[in-house]
Structure 1
Amino acid sequence: MKQRIKSTTVLAISHNGQIAIGADGQATMGNTVAKSTVKKIRKIADGKVVTGFAGSTADAFTLLERFEEKLNSHGGNVKRSAIELAKDWRTDRYLRKLEAMMIIVDKNGILNISGSGDVIEPDEEVESIGSGSMYAKSAALALKRHAPHLTAEEMVKEALTIAADICIYTNHNFMIEVL
């Protein structure tokens, strides 16, 4: 059986007017670290939109390219572009086979796009994807509730650190972007 490069943790938080998105740098193949400095966060639309991806890297880049096309054809409307991508992802024979997820952030908020056709706006302005996502999301929610003095960037860094301390598929090589 062919092993795929996968596994990661991506986390986005909106807090006190700041939106931060971060990811670790680990990619695994089976139960082996394939690379520890993968950049899973990308700025697009002249830095107005930031995306994070989890899953198969090639699949994620395919989705990122498709999202950028949608963004260009819908005048920069992130939500509309995300919905159109999700519709294509669910119905297109080629895209349906892609194994990745995306978080997209802009000044208006956070969106999670999945291959099942979902475009999710998180209730508590915290969203995560990847193998360490539930560790990071749990930590982020606790920080939002009990450490509101922290910035969104500080919360992302601390929550990813907690996830990396627990999840074997998450490392401490973080990339964090702030809007």
Structure 2
Amino acid sequence: MVQFHATTIVAVKRGPDDICIGGDGQVTMGETAIMKNGAKKVKKIYKNTVVTGFAGSVADAFSLTEKFESKLDEHGGNLKRAAVALAQLWRSDKAMRNLEALMIVADKEDMLVLSGTGEVIEPDQPFVAIGSGGNYAYSAANALYNNTDLGAEEIVRKSLEIAASICVYTNDHISVEKL
């Protein structure tokens, strides 16, 4: 089976009013075939109060984003409760269990990583990265966050640019959403 490598996502929080998430636009099939350069994998949801980004299968991620937004509706916008509800559904539902994706979700209070194994992870640092180039972007975000006064958006953009210069599964067609 051919593996799709579908992205690098970075989220940074520099305080309650400086939250940003960004992703590259590349979707790669196998080791070399670039299927798309300008995919948008980050968006605002729930009345523009939550930002989300996904890595993994694009169709699966769209489905998960829709389900997450419905969980936000069910839980009155409470990010943590909605995340736990989605993780429980994702882990227990036969069809959803096969979805291959990771999500980062953030609002003014919290930033979380959600996985299909039912995990809801609150990162120790106010930055996180996932996807094929996630390790590169995370390293760059770590250095920029801890050694500069750059804002969240600048750190996200520069981290993705650095990842794109190193990782063959990451490009420089960057989309950014800011709360």
> What TM-score do you get using the length of structure 2 for normalisation?
0.95
In the alignment, what sits opposite 1:15?
14
In the alignment, what sits opposite 2:151?
151
* Cα shift readout 1:77-131 (whole Å, capped 9, x = no counterpart): 1110000100111111111100011000111121100011111111111111100
Q: Which stretch has the larger CA shift, 42-51 or 166-175?
A: 42-51
In the alignment, what sits opposite 2:49?
48
Aligned mates of 1:143, 1:5 — CA distance in 2: 29
In the alignment, what sits opposite 2:100?
99
Aligned mates of 1:16, 1:95 — CA distance in 2: 34
Q: CA deviation at 1:76?
A: 1.0
Structure 2: state its 5+ residue gaps.
none
Aligned mates of 1:87, 1:6 — CA distance in 2: 26
Q: CA deviation at 1:6?
A: 3.2
Report the RMSD for the aligned CA atoms in angstroms.
1.1
Stretches (4+) displaced over 4 A: none
> What TM-score do you get using the length of structure 1 for normalisation?
0.95
In the alignment, what sits opposite 1:175?
175
Q: Which letter maps to 1:76?
A: G
Structure 1: state its 5+ residue gaps.
none
Conserved 8 A contact 2:6-2:58: no
Report sequence identity in percent: 52
Q: CA deviation at 1:4?
A: 5.0
Q: CA deviation at 1:14?
A: 0.7
Aligned mates of 1:52, 1:127 — CA distance in 2: 11
In the alignment, what sits opposite 1:130?
131
Tell me the SS of whatever aligns to 1:137. Answer: helix
